[in-house]
Structure 1
Amino acid sequence: MNSLTWDQVHARRLARHHLVKPVSGDLRKPVRDVCGVQSQVAAAAELAIGSRVKDATQEQVRAELYDKKRLVKTYSLRGTLHVHAADELALWMAAMRWKPYWRAKDSWHAHHGLTAKQGEAFVDAVREALDGECLTREELAREVSGHVGAWAKDKLASNWGELLRPVAYLGVLCFGPVRGAKVTYVRPDRWAGLKTEVKDQPDPEESAMEIVRRYLRAYGPATHQDLARWFALRPPEAREALESLGDEIAQVEVEGRKAYVLAADEGRWPSDPSCVRLLPQYEAYVLGSGPKEVVVPKDTAARVFEHGRGRYEGAVAHQIMLVDGVVSGMWERRERGGKVEIKLESFVKLDSGQTKELEKEVERVGRFYGAEATLSTGKLVGKKR
């Protein structure tokens, strides 16, 4: 059994996330490699992608989503909005249908309080409503309820979109361009020419196991508890998923903690995690990497808890400074007078080399938004909630 340090683990995770050396060109590669980018805050997802691609701009990311349509936003991991590479959408939707309630006798219909007949009628109504159309939630609710009954309008109007998730997993719906302040929905086949419906999706179990492999590649070493939290599984289900990979995985020990990696990766461990990055809310690296106390140290977690939504969601609720793979500060951005003003609260003292890296990061964030960026430091002020 290999014995590793956390520095080695941070170094490889940073490399796999393209945070040490951003990729050139294809914006889909980092999205694939980090297993999708959480997008409940659209601007955060845009910056997360841009942070991993050399010289990327916000306009380029948006063009990939809404003009070239090579990236697509939909419901995915943990039932949360994610951006995925469009050509992998069927894989991800199939993997989401591997969840236990989809395999149960009554499938997703009963899980959402519907009969099988209601569920099938609902999906058919969404498919018809989005045939060549781009609809807001209100427009979609009106069209669908006109076909299946008023009950559908209430469920679709819910901010949680409880019935939008299963329809997305069935490959019938994804997100279209924003219309004013409102999101819109489209059909993947009509929007981007994608074959994503169930008949065109790969096997759910095989798809889920492929996602588990990708998770280990990007976030390993990982325990079954880490996987359960990330994939929204019960711990026994996550353990079973890991065990099903057999000799494809190997156990390692990281400073006393036993976890799993892909066997093919067992001997590939860089030693230097040097990296200072300014990253957005809901950053994939933080969401997927465990254990949390190693990525977000106790003192940092306490400060995060005091500030805004950190009390409820932890460090992922904030824009963060990542130093050598560890959350080491929070930052805020304001656009004023044609400039991007960045205010940073650092929880650590940066050496001269790290300070230079930070300055480059500030410049990079400015370029992403097409403006000059300035940096100030001090404690961030936010309301306790």
Structure 2
Amino acid sequence: MLGPRALGRALLARQHLLERTTTTAAAMVEHLGGLQAQAAPQPPYLGLLARLDGFAPEALTELIESRRAVRIALQRGTIHLVTAEDCLTLRPLLQSVLDQGLRGAFGKLLVGLDLDALATEARALVEEEPRTFQRLGAELAATRPDRDPAALAQAARCLLPLVQVPPRGLWGRSGPAAHTTAEAWLGRPLDPAPSLDDLALRYLAAFGPATAADLQKWCGLSRLAPVLKRLAPQLVTFRDEQGRLLHDLPDAPRPDPDTPAPVRLLAPFDNLLLSHADRTRVLPEAYRPRVMTQNGIVLGSLLVDGLVAGSWQLAEERSGARSVTVHPFTPLTRADRLAARAEAERVLAFAGGEGAVRFEEAG
């Protein structure tokens, strides 16, 4: 049996949040199966900063500009930053997730539409020149005047593997969310035979031990229990305190539950908080509404002793200087406060210079 603390330490070890590593940004992006990148540009950069020693913004920017990493809708239908190879493999695996999202949001507006013709026209347009969804929707509606432009653009997003091209998502720069196809941008086709087995094994390497429901929560697919059952000869199993079956890789790290966990500032929208059906191994249920807001925002989180114990925000002042504001949910010990300040100062240095670190009153 593995209790919440044992599960939390295993997760933190695999996420390199117990001890930072000097591996490359590309290797970490691959290991994590991508970083949530719905909000541009902070989350992927800050997510890597929390995990990598010596990480500088240029390391990730260069990956994006050289087309070795891309931003594309994947897990849970949300934008993720992934390696080029994972883009080509994961996108076909997760097609049904996007299909479900499109039906739920725009299905009634697409009844009777020739989706094959729409996909063909949309592909020609975005491969001619990257387009925003607003422009793409308007151009598709020009030949379908009875259709909603936004629904047409979102249908194209589902039907085609659309990547966001830079400068969108680059640190310190800005640009519209313009899209082209992964095939055109990367010069390679999608993987014709992607493996659900490989997807499950990679999830366990970065997020295990985990239940089938956890795996499904991370990627958005359903009915994955048979995949884990098929992989059983390669796995070990445990139970949690509720008796749920946990699957894991035999040689994956499972530290002692009493292993010290350093204070960390977790990026906004970090998948550490989004990739399990039961998040209590790192996120106390009482604090979940305080970091996951009703409008879908996931705040940066303060980790103390391996658990979310507050929120934080990097902001730009009117003067142009940066600031980091830390909001503990409960009073911090002197040692934890000093550690949180050191992490905040590390973020400020990463963001380009000196700035202010502020602590709001706990509560």
- 2:36, 2:78 within 8 Å by CA — same for their partners in 1? yes
Q: Is the 8 A contact 1:144 1:152 kept in 2?
A: no
Q: Aligned to 2:117, which of 93, 116, 121?
A: 121
Gaps of 5+ in 2: 101-105, 169-173
The alignment partner of 1:91 has SS state of helix
Q: Secondary structure at the match of 2:46?
A: helix
1:358 alignment counterpart: 340
> CA 1:341–1:38 in 2, change beyond 3 Å: closer, same or farther?
same
Matched, 1:284 2:271: yes
* Contact 1:73–1:84 (Cα < 8 Å) also in 2: yes
> Does structure 2 conserve the Cα–Cα contact (< 8 Å) formed by 1:328 and 1:348?
yes
Equivalent residues in 2 for 1:12-91 (5 A)? 12-24=10-22, 26-42=24-40, 43-65=42-64, 67-91=65-89
What do residues 151-184 of structure 1 show as CA deviations (whole Å, max 9, x unaligned)?
Answer: 3734235xxx34412312xxxx211125765310
Q: Corresponding residue for 1:155?
A: 151
Give the SS at the match of 1:4: coil
Residue 105 (structure 1) aligns with: none
Following superposition, the deviation at residue 139 of structure 1 comes to 2.5
Alignment CA distance shift 1:256-1:151 (3 Å) = closer
Aligned position for 1:106:
none
Give the counterpart letter for 1:260 in structure 2: L
Q: Within the alignment, does 1:296 sit opposite 2:283 as a pair?
A: yes
| Paired residues of 2:22 and 2:52 also in contact (CA < 8 A) | yes
Check the 8 A contact 1:318/1:330 in 2, yes or no: yes
What is the identity, as a one-letter code, of the residue corresponding to 1:155? A
Deviation at 1:318, TM superposition (A): 1.2
Superposed displacement of residue 150, structure 1: 5.4
Q: Does 1:227 align with 2:215?
A: yes
Change in CA separation of 1:149 and 1:123 when aligned onto 2, cut-off 3 Å: farther
Question: When the two structures are aligned, how many residues end up with a matched partner?
Answer: 350
Question: What is the letter of the counterpart of residue 190 of structure 1?
Answer: A
Within a 5 Å distance, the mapping from 1:1-385 to structure 2 comes to 3-24=1-22, 26-42=24-40, 43-65=42-64, 67-97=65-95, 113=110, 118-146=114-142, 151=147, 153-156=149-152, 161-168=154-161, 173-178=162-167, 182-196=176-190, 201-204=191-194, 206=195, 208-234=196-222, 237-265=223-251, 268-271=254-257, 272-289=259-276, 291-301=278-288, 304=290, 310-313=293-296, 317-336=298-317, 337-379=319-361
**Amino acid aligned to 1:128:** A
Quote the Cα distance in structure 1 between the aligned partners of 2:227 and 2:110.
28
Per-residue deviation, 1:203: 2.0
Residues 7, 273 of structure 1: 8 Å contact kept: no
TM-score (norm 2): 0.84
2:16–2:51 contact (8 Å) kept in structure 1: yes
The alpha carbon displacement at 1:126 in A equals 1.9
Percent sequence identity over matched residues? 23
SS in 2 for 1:288: coil
Question: Residue 310 of structure 2 contacts residue 330 of structure 2 at CA under 8 Å; is this kept in 1?
Answer: yes
Residue by residue, what CA displacement relative to the aligned partner does 1:133-158 show, whole Å, maximum 9, x if unpaired? 2222232224434566653734235x
CA RMSD, Structure 1 to Structure 2 (Å): 3.1
Moved more, 265-274 or 20-29: 265-274
Between structures 1 and 2, the one with greater helix share: 1
Deviation sequence 1:89-120 (CA, Å, 0-9, x none): 11101211366979xxxxxx9998456x8222
Unaligned runs of 5+ in 1: 103-108
Work out the CA distance in 1 between the residues paired with 2:95 and 2:285: 36
**2:103 corresponds to:** none
| Cα distance change on mapping 1:132 and 1:273 into 2, 3 Å | farther
* CA shift for structure 1 position 353: 4.2
User: In 1, distance between residues paired with 2:360 and 2:98?
Assistant: 47
Q: Report the Cα distance in structure 2 between the residues aligned to 1:54 and 1:132, rounded to whole angstroms.
A: 40
Contact preservation (8 Å) 1:344, 1:379? no
3-state SS of 1:264 partner: coil
Give the structure-1-normalised TM-score. 0.79
Provide the rounded CA distance (Å) in 1 between the counterparts of 2:52 and 2:252. 27
Evaluate the alpha carbon distance shift between residue 6 and residue 82 of structure 1 in structure 2; reply closer, same or farther with a 3 A threshold: same
Letter in 1 for 2:197: M
After superposition, the Cα gap between the structure-2 partners of 1:246 and 1:298, relative to the gap in structure 1 and judged at 3 Å, is closer
Write the letter of the residue equivalent to 2:189.
K
Asked if structure 2 preserves the Cα contact closer than 8 Å seen for 1:44 and 1:282, the reply is: yes
Question: How many Å apart are 1:210 and its aligned residue?
Answer: 1.4
Q: Evaluate the alpha carbon distance shift between residue 361 and residue 228 of structure 1 in structure 2; reply closer, same or farther with a 3 A threshold.
A: same
User: For the residues of structure 2 that align with 1:216 and 1:112, how far apart are their CA atoms?
Assistant: 38
The whole-number CA distance in structure 1 between the counterparts of 2:265 and 2:32 is 17
Aligned 8 A contact 2:204 2:210 in 1: yes
Deviation per residue, 1:274-315 (Å, 9 max, x gap): 12111222111111145223422243236x17xxx62454xx
Task: Give the partner amino acid of 2:327.
Answer: E
Letter in 2 for 1:276: V
Q: 1:285 to 1:112 in 2, by over 3 A?
A: farther
SS state at 1:354 partner: helix
Hey, what's the Cα distance between the residues in 2 that align with 1:13 and 1:49?
Answer: 16
Residue identity matched to 2:315: R
Q: Say whether the 8 Å CA contact 1:251–1:260 is kept in structure 2.
A: yes
Separation (CA, whole Å) in 2 of partners of 1:273 and 1:355: 16
